[in-house]
Chains A and B, each alone.
Chain A
Amino acid sequence: MNWAWIDSQWPTIWQEFGQHVWLSVLPVLIGLLLSIPIGALAHRYGWLRPPLVTLAGLTYTIPSLALFVVLPGLLGTKILDPINVVVALTLYTVALLVRTVADALDTVPDDVRQAALAMGYRPVRQLLAVDLPVAAPVIGAGVRVATVSNVSLVAIAALIGVPQLGSLFTQGFQEDFATPIIVGIVGCLVLALVLDLLIVLAIRLLTPWQRAGRIGRRGRSAAAAELAEVVGPAEVIG
């Protein structure tokens, strides 16, 4: 481990870290926004679901390097343009999340859906105000997977020369020098952990009712425990 090298390269490493952050986060945001309507369609129209889910699965199997190389030709962008990376990772995110969104909407209890319909919600407002909030915990879990997956996929873009933490791997490999590789790995790990933590926090903030339910149950069992002390355990059945 060459600490002096890290010290001297710090501004570059920091810049690459920043680059890595937005290259992995932006596609998740765009991908999520795209997946919600597509997933909702797959959920609503049963016949759309198998083709969409299959297409998503196939998209995910395209090697990322191939996509990075092919996209400039399709989009008319330069090979070094970070847009290629954003588009490619957005595709992967959509591929992961379409199915998650459709599955998450399946978890909305039928009672809740019927009640919303009977109250006079129109479809789009029902999706935004009832279905998505209720499905949020499941969608959130999918977003965590997509984000961590993106952090590692971004690194591959170093092979086509888009600078970010992955550049440290190519550099270390070319120069047969371990330090940049270790720094790159640690950087990716830290980034993945921090982003994951932020998402978990966001989910908690968005779904206070989930914890309320748990607090409620704990509250009731605490009350039952108190009761057990007063009347003896045999009487407390429920």
Chain B
Amino acid sequence: MITFDAVSKRYPDGTVAVNELTMEIPSGSTTVLVGPSGCGKTTSLRMINRMIDPSAGRILIDGTDVTAVPASRLRRGIGYVIQNAGLFPHRTVLDNVATVPVLTGTPRAAARREAAALLERVGLDPALGRRYPAQLSGGQQQRVGVARALAADPPILLMDEPFSAVDPVVRTELQDELLRLQADLGKTIVFVTHDIDEAIKLGDRLAILAVGGRLAQFAAPSQVLAAPADDFVAGFVGRDRGYRALSFTAGDGIAVRPEPTIRIGDVPTGADWLLVTDDDGHPRGWVDAAAHPGGTPVAEADLRLGGTLLGPGGSVRTALDAALSSPSGRGVAVDADGRVTGSIRAADVFAVAERTARDEPGEPPVPAPAVLSKDRPA
């Protein structure tokens, strides 16, 4: 547990970056510091590993004041990832990852072996280990940054806008990878971002900071969306918060209706959209029987690719998206193996959403598997 006890930071020029911040960051989960630019997120984060010293107050890790050990020793036990990865340009990827173990006395050969294993763990080909950072893409560099922070297996990981300099597709990949890693590792992660969507996706807890370093709300994402503490929080989480909150409601209660399917090569009949699957029952796409030339079999080229899928553990938000993104207006529900189980209609999704909003205004249930990939079809 990381404890902020009335921590303030006033810079020499008089700027108050953090003002009397008191909060308890629980161990083994992800806490996201989120807020507008200049509200003191980076300052707060850097006071944990003493890259910045507070002007007043104390920070404790598991009850021990961070000033109790020399700063360099403290830092070697805390992983740190920054926006542009900050890799050492003169060291190979492998040696970058091996940095902290080598600093703490692990023989170089052993540190490199472990580094190679870590590369794989963060989704990189270990062959990249011989390259220099300049020979990697931005997303790859960021993965190396994460591997480097994890190398000494620190219990705490500090991440300062680690994914904000990469394009949206890569950002999503990196976020999913972090969720996967965290499900395995259970580190105490303190993650800084100014992107509320990223905060909701990654955080078990959100610490919403207002300009001037005031803690506006400290709560689970679902709670922040359902019951913002004040106007600042309500404004910050934005107009879509009702829709975003659907991410936290399990889609289990939505009626899955039988959906007839056909295969490639079958002749479509009737005047409605038909769902086409492969021989194993995996969805391939939709075909519009009304527009299909009569009597001819369905070919690959006739398929309108479907929208997103609703898998087990998917949220109401995923279900709604599945329904709205399907050309037939019927969202495809699949089982854990990706086989079609039926279809869902937007009206049914709305019914569930409405019921939840009425029944449990403050505390919508958080479905356990959905934490892993809240916004993606399983």
Measured CB to CB, the residues of A under 8 A from B are 109, 111-112, 114-122, 125, 130, 133-134, 136, 207, 209, 212-213, 215-217, 219
Contacts and interface: CB of A to CB of B under 8 A. Distances in A.
B85 interface: yes
B134 A115 contact: no
A213 B132 contact: yes
B205 to A, nearest CB: 23
Nearest to B96: A115
B90 interface: yes
B75 A117 contact: yes
Interface in B76-96: 76, 78, 80, 82-91
Contacts of B135: 212-213, 215-216, 219
Contacts of A209: 89-91, 132, 134
A85 to B, nearest CB: 35
Interface of B: 49, 51, 71-76, 78, 80, 82-91, 99-100, 103, 131-132, 134-135, 148, 158
Given A120-B75, A121-B103, A216-B134, A133 B90 contact: yes
A118 B51 contact: yes
10 contacts: A109-B89, A111-B83, A115-B85, A115-B87, A118-B158, A119-B103, A122-B72, A209-B90, A209-B91, A216-B131
A207 B132 CA distance: 11
A119 B76 contact: yes
Contacts of A119: 75-76, 80, 99-100, 103, 148
A130 B88 contact: yes
Instruction: Tell me what chain A mostly uses at the interface: helix, strand, loop, or mixed.
Output: helix
Contacts of A133: 90
B75 to A, nearest CB: 4
Contacts of A217: 134
A109 B89 CA distance: 10
B131 A114 contact: no
A19 B100 CA distance: 47
B88 A212 contact: no
A125 to B, nearest CB: 8
A111 B86 contact: yes
Contacts of B132: 209, 212-213, 216
B130 to A, nearest CB: 10
A134 B86 CA distance: 12
A118 B75 contact: yes
The 7 closest A-B CB pairs, nearest first, are A115-B86, A213-B134, A216-B135, A111-B86, A120-B76, A118-B80, A120-B75
Contacts of A109: 86, 89
A119 B151 CA distance: 11
A231 to B, nearest CB: 20
Nearest to B92: A209
Contacts of B158: 118
Contacts of B80: 115, 118-119
B180 to A, nearest CB: 24
A112 B134 CA distance: 13
Nearest to A111: B86
Contacts of B83: 111
